[in-house]
Amino acid sequence: MPREIDWTDTEEIGIQLQEKYPEIEPYTVRFTDLHRYVTELPGFVGNPAKSTEPILEAIQTAWNEEYQDAKDV
């Protein structure tokens, strides 16, 4: 069973998004889609109404770091 994650687990969310959507460039994703991607992750237990723009920005940044690391390999 996946570990429970919430909105504040930005690094873990970034890792999981990169694993699930390796072909997507994170900074091209609209926040509405990003919100859906996060809430659909296995183990996500956060309240969908509790996301904020700064949280989504932090998640997008964490995902982009994982995306860049994967491109460099």
DSSP string, the chain: -PPPB-TT-HHHHHHHHHHH-TTS-GGGS-HHHHHHHHHTSTTB-S-GGG--HHHHHHHHHHHHHHHHHHHH-
In a domain, 58, yes or no: yes
Residue 24 belongs to domain spanning: 10-72
pLDDT along the chain (73 residues), means of 10: 90 97 97 98 96 97 97 83
In a domain, 4, yes or no: no
Tokens of 62: 């964490």
**For the chain, what is the domain count?**
1
In a domain, 42, yes or no: yes
For the entire predicted model, the pTM comes to 0.94
pLDDT at residue 3, as a whole number: 86
Phi and psi angles of residue 54, each rounded to the nearest 5 degrees, phi first: -60, -35
